[in-house]
Structure 1
Amino acid sequence: MERWPHVVAIAFPAQGHVGPLLKLSCQIARQGIRVTFVSTASVHARMLQASGDGDCCCWGEIERATVLEGMEEVKDMGDKEEVAETRAKVMSRHFQELLREMNSSRDERVTCVVADATIGWAFEVANSMGIKRAMFWPTAVPGLVLSLSIPRLTEAGMIDDCGSASKDTAIQLSPELPAVKATDLLWRCPGDQLRQAIIFGYCMTVNRTVRISNWLLCNSFYELDRATCVLIPELLPVGPLTSADGLGSFWAEDLTCLNWLDLQPPKSVIYAAFGSIAAFSQNQFEELALGLELSGRPFLWVVRSDFTNEDEIRYPDGFSERVSDRAKIVSWAPQEKVLAHPSVSCFVTHCGWNSTMEGISSGVPFLCWPYFADQFYNRSYICDTLKVGLELEAGEAEIVVSRHKIQAQLERLLSDAQIKENAEMLRGMAKRSVSEGGSSSTNVRHFVEQLKRCSEAGP
């Protein structure tokens, strides 16, 4: 009897992790692979609600399954360590039960688990059940090399057991890559040592995960990360993982901003969006608002309901009236469509990797304002390596980034012809990589062909 490959994909339950893996799942499914995407019940509910009609019509042929997250067992939701430990324990147990149920029919057995690199327990479960494993690295590829280097770096005394390093530390991963500064460590969370310790713990598990994985996949493309791919020859870049239909969004998209963009002149609009987690103090929020106003340009600004540390969003006095003829403010935007719109001139961003790949794919210059973790490294990558953006940060004696600095950096970015040229060059490279015969397109096809051979071979 003919056996069909069945892939089960599972991501860490956060917007930045779910989105890219779901997009990869769609690519795999389009090539004749049965795919079941597993999320927590709470994440699944959020995606259904965000779709607006009670169902995710954009999922196509992908099947869905849920596992419990265990948050009802957490005594203190403010205890990040307890939350992380409970989530891993409960999700691991329910994921194993789900795989056993799927494998109860011999003809429908799971061929491979594709899982986020941050959930090492998923690989342990699959390994214990004799199921093939594909690790998906959702952020910048040099971060994978850095994670794999943790034992060596700790032994050499370059980082301590908590992942901290002296401020003058520079980690040279290879002669072809710029040194990683202490301020750019993948797990760095300024002012939140507990969160940093948790993320560092995830990174330390990557060595084991890589060792027991049959495939290593990442959201990048070979031409962008050639020097890093040389260090991990088995790595298969399959990005940029993009989708214009809001796939995997936790928030309902305000599509009216697209009509507004249609009315703006070409390359005129500043797009400002800071992802799903970043939050500003009220003071910093007001400086950003006033900086956008001082730019004198039209701007589209994504302001989540939880974007500040206040109970409600409060704009500077008179701000809304003063910018009403050239500003559009929404709670969530169809970002890929926005970035690809001809009226957009630049992207003010927190430098999450998904946003970075989306911006590169659309050829827009970046104004980089990272919040935590890998975003600091991504900023350096964008500004110093790729040279498609400028950074924005407070000086040593400053508490906030001032409105005047925001205005000045925007003017500098938008007048830099070389940055615009570099951004356009990267856009072409990204487009070719996912086109028929391109590097990422070929890697996805290669992965699918291997899955089919594994299925034909049987257990």
Structure 2
Amino acid sequence: MKNPNLLVVPFPVQGHVNPFMNFSQKMVEHGCKISFVNTDVSHKRVMSSVGKQESLEESATIKLVSIPDGLEADDDRSDLGKLCDSIVSTMPSMLEKLIEDIHVNGGDRITCIVADVIMGWALEVGRKLGIKGIFFCTASAAMFALKYNIPKLIQDGIIDSNGFPITKGTFQISPSMPSMETEAIWWSNVYNPTTEKKIFKYLVHCMQNSNLAKWCICNTTYELEPSTLSCVPKLLPVGPLLRSYDNTNVTARSLGQFWEEDHSCIDWLNQQPRSSVLYVAFGSFTLFDQNRFNELALGLDLINRPFLWVVRQDNKMAFPNEFLGSKGKIVGWTPQLKVLNHPSIACFLSHCGWNSIIEGLYSGVPFLCWPYFTDQFRNRNYICNELKVGLGLNSDENGLVSRWEIKKKLDRLTSDEQIRTRSLELKETVMNNIAEGGGSSENVGRLLSWLKS
């Protein structure tokens, strides 16, 4: 038979596009073809980033296509409630038309839709067109279990019908799973109640389609989340899903990035002593106010060690007048996995997005945790309390993480040999999963057998 032709549909933010692209490239290595569906806005950003590097011809096995998200060009896409409303009212019909166009124009027929858990409506489109489906959770298995168990959370009185926690404290989805804080209910810590209600309603709609998926895959491993994976037997761990830096084709390596990567940081890291550099990166969504930005900048001066700080091009904050930054390098975007694997990196000051956690664990790097929103608070607790490979930064009475707190926790982290040892042990465990015979590698094999059957 012909090789499978997968249509992949990530949620239109960098933190979801990245693991989808890593998964797509892994599938291509096994003979699959990919139609990668971004929104028009995300597609434009990806093409702009790639266009500055080289031609896309060598990446022909991953065909980049796009459909509108329904918002106007100047609408605020960081308003997740507005974005979710627009996606669900616009994109299903557009996706159906795209698939029909692919089929009519003589392209290989789509054999399977791989839909982001929070683009679950795409599987409804697949059912209508007779195309089988896979669910892909780009967050942790624990977050999938949380979404999957929304009806139970309502029934047990943990959340109300709008998704808001009824009481503060801890709860358990299952007796065999670790307890979670109510702040782990990520859709209720985003912005404001109106937006949160919209996100919850959208989420419930997407999760209703989980029964349409033959497989649900997740960027995790058995060893990282054993109890959670035993509670959700349908969930198949295929992580860590990572970019390949062995590929000589720069475009294939950078495909899916919303910003052009600054590779000069690697030359700079080459000049720094081993295990000396604090790497600071807060992902694609975190927004600082001026006070927090000032404290971070002045904290980096205070630590008196080299730092590599990612300040995105869309940052609107001004550097404080007192900021020297003489020991550091500031860049707009990095090849993060390559940075984290560099021998000069000592630790990672992170917002605790799941991709960053997976990349940090794979690299054996301890974490300083400063979550921003959604699942990042639960991820911080997981890193600090369950895996014990990091320390959390605490806010003062004004809700501010001070420069002194940054210095104090960094000093503690870098002098703690036990954390460093645990980080390196976890690195080996995580790496073994994608080696031949590893758990995730075997699961990818099962997935491919099903796709090709």
Q: TM-score, normalised by structure 2?
A: 0.93
Alignment-derived partner of residue 428 in structure 1: 428
The alignment partner of 1:305 has SS state of coil
In the TM superposition, what whole-angstrom CA distance separates every residue of 1:349-392 from its partner, at most 9, and x where no partner exists? 00011111110110100011111101111111111111111111
- Supply the distance in 2 between the matched residues of 1:249 and 1:229 (Cα, whole angstroms): 30
The alignment partner of 2:433 has SS state of helix
- Supply the distance in 1 between the matched residues of 2:79 and 2:319 (Cα, whole angstroms): 31
Q: Is the 8 A contact 2:218 2:237 kept in 1?
A: yes
In structure 1, give the amino acid aligned to 2:367: F
**Residues 295-334 of structure 1 correspond to what in structure 2 (within 5 A)?**
295-307=303-315, 312-320=316-324, 323-324=325-326, 326-334=327-335
Task: Give the deviation of 1:103 after TM superposition.
Answer: 3.0
Cα distance change on mapping 1:92 and 1:55 into 2, 3 Å = farther
The alignment partner of 1:264 has SS state of coil
- Supply the distance in 1 between the matched residues of 2:398 and 2:72 (Cα, whole angstroms): 41
Q: Is the 8 A contact 1:364 1:420 kept in 2?
A: yes
Structure 1: unaligned runs, 5 residues or longer: 454-459
- Supply the distance in 1 between the matched residues of 2:313 and 2:202 (Cα, whole angstroms): 29
Task: Give the deviation of 1:402 after TM superposition.
Answer: 0.8
Q: Of 271, 280, 298, which residue of structure 2 is paired with 1:272?
A: 280
The percent identity for this pair of structures is 40
Q: Is the 8 A contact 1:305 1:313 kept in 2?
A: no
The alignment partner of 1:398 has SS state of coil
Alignment-derived partner of residue 452 in structure 1: 452
The alignment partner of 2:186 has SS state of coil
The alignment partner of 2:6 has SS state of strand
Alignment-derived partner of residue 64 in structure 2: 64
- Supply the distance in 2 between the matched residues of 1:79 and 1:168 (Cα, whole angstroms): 26
Of stretches 114-123 and 64-73 in structure 1, the one that deviates more from structure 2 is 64-73
In structure 1, give the amino acid aligned to 2:389: V
The alignment partner of 2:208 has SS state of helix
In the TM superposition, what whole-angstrom CA distance separates every residue of 1:33-65 from its partner, at most 9, and x where no partner exists? 122111122211211222223645774621222
Task: Give the deviation of 1:340 after TM superposition.
Answer: 0.4
- Supply the distance in 2 between the matched residues of 1:348 and 1:81 (Cα, whole angstroms): 28
In structure 2, give the amino acid aligned to 1:155: Q
Q: Is the 8 A contact 1:4 1:108 kept in 2?
A: no
Task: Check if 1:357 corresponds to 2:363.
Answer: no
Of stretches 356-365 and 440-449 in structure 1, the one that deviates more from structure 2 is 440-449
**Residues 92-107 of structure 1 correspond to what in structure 2 (within 5 A)?**
92-104=92-104
In structure 2, give the amino acid aligned to 1:183: E
- Supply the distance in 2 between the matched residues of 1:343 and 1:283 (Cα, whole angstroms): 30
Of stretches 423-432 and 59-68 in structure 1, the one that deviates more from structure 2 is 59-68
For these two proteins, the number of residue pairs brought into alignment is 444
Q: Is the 8 A contact 2:36 2:62 kept in 1?
A: yes
The alignment partner of 2:187 has SS state of coil
The alignment partner of 2:209 has SS state of helix
Cα distance change on mapping 1:57 and 1:439 into 2, 3 Å = farther
Alignment-derived partner of residue 196 in structure 2: 196
Of stretches 259-268 and 81-90 in structure 1, the one that deviates more from structure 2 is 81-90
In structure 2, give the amino acid aligned to 1:161: S
Q: Is the 8 A contact 2:348 2:360 kept in 1?
A: yes
Structure 2: unaligned runs, 5 residues or longer: 246-252
Q: TM-score, normalised by structure 1?
A: 0.91
In structure 2, give the amino acid aligned to 1:231: C
Q: Is the 8 A contact 2:277 2:306 kept in 1?
A: yes
Q: Is the 8 A contact 1:361 1:430 kept in 2?
A: yes
Cα distance change on mapping 1:288 and 1:364 into 2, 3 Å = same
- Supply the distance in 1 between the matched residues of 2:6 and 2:308 (Cα, whole angstroms): 39
Q: Is the 8 A contact 2:353 2:379 kept in 1?
A: yes
In structure 2, give the amino acid aligned to 1:383: C
Task: Check if 1:17 corresponds to 2:19.
Answer: no
Q: Of 254, 258, 264, which residue of structure 1 is paired with 2:262?
A: 254
- Supply the distance in 2 between the matched residues of 1:227 and 1:357 (Cα, whole angstroms): 18
- Supply the distance in 2 between the matched residues of 1:356 and 1:202 (Cα, whole angstroms): 26
Cα distance change on mapping 1:58 and 1:436 into 2, 3 Å = farther
Q: Is the 8 A contact 2:88 2:121 kept in 1?
A: yes
Q: Is the 8 A contact 1:185 1:376 kept in 2?
A: no
Task: Check if 1:125 corresponds to 2:135.
Answer: no
Task: Give the deviation of 1:272 after TM superposition.
Answer: 0.4
Cα distance change on mapping 1:235 and 1:195 into 2, 3 Å = same
Alignment-derived partner of residue 414 in structure 1: 414
Q: Is the 8 A contact 2:120 2:207 kept in 1?
A: no
In structure 2, give the amino acid aligned to 1:412: R
Of stretches 283-292 and 53-62 in structure 1, the one that deviates more from structure 2 is 53-62
Q: Is the 8 A contact 1:167 1:183 kept in 2?
A: no
Q: Is the 8 A contact 2:115 2:123 kept in 1?
A: yes
- Supply the distance in 2 between the matched residues of 1:54 and 1:100 (Cα, whole angstroms): 30
Q: Is the 8 A contact 1:158 1:169 kept in 2?
A: no
Alignment-derived partner of residue 457 in structure 1: none
Q: Is the 8 A contact 1:3 1:107 kept in 2?
A: no
- Supply the distance in 2 between the matched residues of 1:426 and 1:373 (Cα, whole angstroms): 25
Of stretches 290-299 and 242-251 in structure 1, the one that deviates more from structure 2 is 242-251
**Residues 4-153 of structure 1 correspond to what in structure 2 (within 5 A)?**
4-51=3-50, 52-53=52-53, 55-56=55-56, 59=59, 61-72=61-72, 81-104=81-104, 108-153=108-153
Cα distance change on mapping 1:441 and 1:68 into 2, 3 Å = same
In structure 1, give the amino acid aligned to 2:120: G
Cα distance change on mapping 1:203 and 1:76 into 2, 3 Å = closer
Task: Give the deviation of 1:104 after TM superposition.
Answer: 3.4
- Supply the distance in 2 between the matched residues of 1:195 and 1:410 (Cα, whole angstroms): 35
Q: Is the 8 A contact 1:10 1:116 kept in 2?
A: yes
In the TM superposition, what whole-angstrom CA distance separates every residue of 1:6-47 from its partner, at most 9, and x where no partner exists? 111111111011110111011111111122111122211211
